[in-house]
Structure 1
């Protein structure tokens, strides 16, 4: 069966952004091994050769998606003394940067693929854990960085799975205060 692709207006930057968005959406819904360049091209309405021209291989495109998984506000921005409070508030109540679950899903769906899992590990170490550990400082910074990240991701997933906190406002504020204290303790060591 022949599939005709509707031509898009020529705008290289917009097309590149659309391909990247389609790839992120695909990788958040399907495993790395199940996503094909033709699938992504079809989602955007371009030829698969154009996807390859802009991004190279599927591995290169996946790496680019992983780079953009860090579009959420940087954990290290802001005063270190208020780290626990501001990160817990965002994890409990959400923010204008919601959509982090999609980024987490890209990471979680990658676990089943040996190739993608290795890329995620390498990218996470280079782009996130290395800088986060340096920011935390101290001999046990790798441990504290992993604990903080796991706690934050767990709360984000919990919030997204339930469609938001199912607690009263007062209970949510109590949980935010407790999470803030735990996170700050992890960071301060």
Structure 2
């Protein structure tokens, strides 16, 4: 084995572990997923999972490292903000690995305080900064929180509960139907 091939094998093993972990966490939840099952799904020995990630908690943290990559809202036409955000969230939810990561976070946050804190962290570090670029910064927490309620509600109904009428909507229909609500959240003033 050459020195050049070792990192590639290591990278491939890490990727296989993360793929298997995301699927297993999404299907079974954090508590029920086991290192042994994840290793079996990845086709490796469980000791390799521990070697690369140290613990189930370390593996979970790596598996749910979500990067929303939200667009710079200040650089977008004011009337297109809501549609753009809905489209971005739907893109994340519709394709791997984002869909597995987000599903894991959504399912697990209800029962696991560590995951709940991770969701709050994503909100604080990724959603809030995007919304802070628009309107009154003092009102950004309210507006960002309303956006999250809408997007997580959509995700719950479409990807967890799988409510048939919501499942039947195309991504473009979701953008058209929910975009105006997100637009209102982004641009509204607080009620008196």
TM-score, scaled to structure 1: 0.72
* Bigger RCO (CA 8 Å, 6+ sep): 1
Question: Matches of 2:46 and 2:18 in 1, distance apart?
Answer: 13
Tell me which residue corresponds to 1:54.
52
Flag structure 2 segments of 5+ consecutive residues without an equivalent: 1-7
- Paired residues, what number? 171
Q: Deviations over 1:48-79 (max 9, x none)?
A: 22112212221111111121x33x55254661
Mark the CA change 1:12 to 1:74 in structure 2 (over 3 Å): closer, same or farther. Answer: same
The structure with the largest helix share of the pair is 2
Match in the other structure for 1:187: 186
Alpha-carbon distance in structure 1 between the residues aligned to 2:113 and 2:64: 16
Which of residues 12, 34, 38 in structure 1 aligns to 2:32? Answer: 34
Question: How far did residue 134 of structure 1 move?
Answer: 3.2
Sort the Cα spacing of 1:87 and 1:36 in 2 relative to 1 into closer, same or farther, 3 A: same
Deviations 1:152-189 (A, max 9, x none): 2322443442386536x8xx75x744522221121123
**1:66 and 1:123 in contact (8 A); partners too:** no
1:98 aligns with 94
Alpha carbons of 1:66 and 1:106: their partners in 2 closer, same or farther (altered >3 Å)?
same
1:4 corresponding residue in structure 2: none
Q: Is the 8 A contact 1:85 1:177 kept in 2?
A: yes
Alignment of 1:70-85 (within 5 A): 70=67, 74-76=70-72, 79=76, 81=78, 82-85=80-83
Partner of 2:130: 132
Q: 1:123 aligns with which of 113, 121, 124?
A: 121
Instruction: Give unmatched runs, 5+ long, in structure 1.
Output: 1-9
Say if 2:93 and 2:99, in contact at 8 Å, map to a contact too.
no
Tell me, yes or no, if the aligned pair for 1:73 and 1:97 is still in contact at 8 Å. Answer: no
Could you say if the C-alpha distance between residues 95 and 132 of structure 1 is closer, same or farther in structure 2, counting changes exceeding 3 Å? closer
Runs of 4+ in 1 over 6 A off after TM superposition: none
Partners in 2 of 1:20 and 1:115 — Cα distance?
A: 19
What CA RMSD, in Å, does the superposition of the two structures yield over aligned residues?
A: 3.1
Write the distance in 1 (CA, Å) between the matches of 2:13 and 2:86: 36
